[in-house]
Amino acid sequence: MKGESEIPILRALAIVVVCIVVAVTVTGCLHSSEVAKERIDWNLTLIGDCEKALSYNEIRAMPDHEGHGGFFSTVGIVNGPFKCKGVPLEELCDLVGGINDSTTVRVSASDGYLMVFTYDQVKGDFITYDPATMKEVPHRGVTVILMYEQDGTLLSDAMGGPLRIAIVSEDEFLTEGHYWVQWVDRIEIRP
C-alpha cells in the first residue's frame, strides 16, 4: 500500500521537473534568438578616405586574430585575462584608406563613449601589467582588435558586445580599462 501512494507523488515530481526543463529551454531559446537578432542587426561604420558600413556577420567573416588580454578599472577591479578573438583594428582602418603617423583613430560606442587611439597605439604601443602583481611588464606582439568572442563565447550585451575593443598578445597581461571600448559602432580615422 505504501508503495502505491508514492507513485502519484513521483509522477507529480516528474511532471514538475519536465516543466522546469521545458521552461528553461524555451527561455534560453528565446534569449538566444534575441541575442542573435541583435547581432545580425548591428552595424559598424568605418570612416576614412571613404565611408563603409559593415554588418556584424561581415566582420565575423573577416580573417580573425586571437590572443590574450585583460584590463583593470580605475578602482583596480581586474577583468581577465581572457582569450579574445576579433579583427585587428588596423585591418578595419585599411578598408577605408588606412592610417599613418599623422592620424588618430576615434572609436565610438552606441552609448556615446569615445576613445581616441594614436597611430602608435593602433600599432600596439601600450603599457602592460602583470595580472598577478599589477606591476608594469614588457610586452611583445600587442595587437588591438575589434573583439566579438571572449573565452570561446560570442560577446553578449552584458560583456560589452556584440563588438568591443580588446588589446591582446600571446602573453597574458592587463592594460587600462578605458581602452576596452564596449558596444563599438563607429571607427573614424582623423588627421
Average pLDDT over residues 153-159: 94
Average pLDDT, the chain: 84
CATH homologous superfamily, domain 44-190 = Oxidoreductase, molybdopterin-binding domain (3.90.420.10)
d(CA 185, CA 59) in angstroms, rounded, equals 12
Q: What was the pLDDT predicted at 25?
A: 33
Task: Say whether pLDDT at 78 is over 70.
Answer: yes
Q: What pLDDT is attached to residue 98?
A: 95
- pLDDT tens-digit profile of 162-187? 999 999 999 899 999 999 999 999 99
Give the chain as a 3 state SS string: CHHHHHHHHHHHHHHHHHHHHHHHHHHHHHHHHHHHHHHHHCEEEEECCCEEEEEHHHHHHCCCEEEEEEEECCCCCEEEEEEEEEEEHHHHHHCCCCCCCCCEEEEEECCCCEEEEEHHHHCCCCCEECCCCCCEECCCCCEEEEEEEECCEECCHHHCCCCEEEEEECCCCEEEHHHCCCCEEEEEEEC
The structure's pTM equals 0.78
Q: How many CA atoms lie within 13 A of 155 on its CB side?
A: 27
pLDDT bracket for residue 6 (50, 70, 90) = low
- Residue 15 pLDDT exceeds 70: no
At 19-45, the pLDDT tens digits run 433 333 333 333 333 444 444 688 999
Chain centroid to Cα 143, Å, comes to 14
Q: What is the pLDDT of residue 4?
A: 55
pLDDT of the residue at 36: 43
Cα separation values, 95 from 31, 104, 106, 127, Å? 33, 15, 15, 28
The amino acid at 72: F
Cα(47)–Cα(66) distance, integer angstroms: 25
pLDDT in tens, 94-105: 999 999 999 999
Task: Compute the Cα dihedral for 153, 82, 56, 31 and give only its sign.
Answer: positive
